[in-house]
Each structure stands twice: as C-alpha cells, then as structure tokens.
Amino acid sequence: MNVLQGIITEIKSHEGLSLVKVKANDFVFSSIVLDTPETAGYLKLDNVVKIIFKETEVIISTALNPNISIQNQLLCRVESIKKGVILSQVTLMAGKQTIESIITTNACEQLALHENDNVMALIKTNEVSLSAHD
C-alpha cells in the first residue's frame, strides 16, 4: 500500500461527493471521496491527511506527456525492478516520494523498463483514498 502525507488545498463538494486536491511535496493529488466537509471532520482546507492507493492501481507510462483523462500524473524515476514470473514490483521515486507499483512482468518487459528510466506514474482519481492523519 502506498501511503503519503499531504495538505488539503482545495475541496469541491456536491450531492455527498467531494473532489479533494492534496499537495504532497511537489505533487498535487486529486481524490474523489464519499464525504463532504459537513460529514467528515478531516475534510478541511490546510488539514494534513494521508493519501492512500494500492500498488496495483499505479499505471506506468513511458510516454512522459500522455494526453489522457487520468488526473494524477507523477513524473518518476525507476529506482528498482523486482521481476517475478507473473508480476513485477517497480519502485519509483517521485521527487523525494517513493511510489510502489505492481504490474505484470509482461507489461514490464513490453515497456522495456530499466533502473533510472524516467516514467509517468498514473493513478485514477477514484483510486486515491484519503484519511485523517494520526
């Protein structure tokens, strides 16, 4: 599980849903949550929160400027690759943040990933969860 820390910079709510922007170092994450500032105490501007997303939800692109609808696009450097028979674990560095991705080994080979390659880590907005910081 990827768990980062960030600060809420924007909240847009409507009909029980909130689109929340959270700044974590040099990156701004977007998350859709089934809460509003009225129903969840942690949803306040400038609050520190945890940004949570699964390793299997991190898509890797070798195209550094993909024209797609995924809002969370992080420029990363491949730190390490652990290839398995079926799955590979790819450790990425997004600035000072470590991001873990699990992709199929076939995809890893198709992308011809190597350590120190520059890639984009892509995470869909609905796959990013937020929780109160301890």
Tens-digit pLDDT profile for residues 30-80: 999 999 999 888 999 999 999 999 999 999 999 988 889 999 999 999 999
Note if the pTM is more than 0.75.
Answer: yes
Average pLDDT over residues 21-38: 93
pLDDT of 134 higher than 80 = no
Q: What's the pLDDT band for 26 if we cut at 50, 70, 90?
A: confident
User: How confident is the model at residue 65, as a pLDDT?
Assistant: 86
Which of 81, 61, 88 is CA-nearest to residue 73? 61
User: How confident is the model at residue 122, as a pLDDT?
Assistant: 97
Looking at the structure of the chain, the number of domains it has is: 1
User: How confident is the model at residue 72, as a pLDDT?
Assistant: 96
- Per the structure, the complete domain to which residue 76 belongs is given by 2-132
Q: Do strands 27-33 and 48-53 pair parallel, antiparallel, or not at all (unpaired)?
A: unpaired
CA separation, residue 70 to residues 67, 102, 123, 126 (Å): 9, 18, 7, 10
CB of 10 closer than 8 Å to CB of 42: no
- Please report, for the domain that includes residue 113, its CATH number: 2.40.50.100
List CB contacts of 10: < 8 A, sequence separation 6 or more.
20, 21, 45
pLDDT of 19 higher than 90 = yes
CB of 128 closer than 8 Å to CB of 72: yes
Q: Which two tokens stand for residue 86?
A: 């079926």
The values of phi and psi at residue 24, to 5°, are -125, 105
From CA 104, how far away is CA 27, in angstroms rounded? 26
99-120: pLDDT as tens digits: 999 999 999 999 999 999 999 9
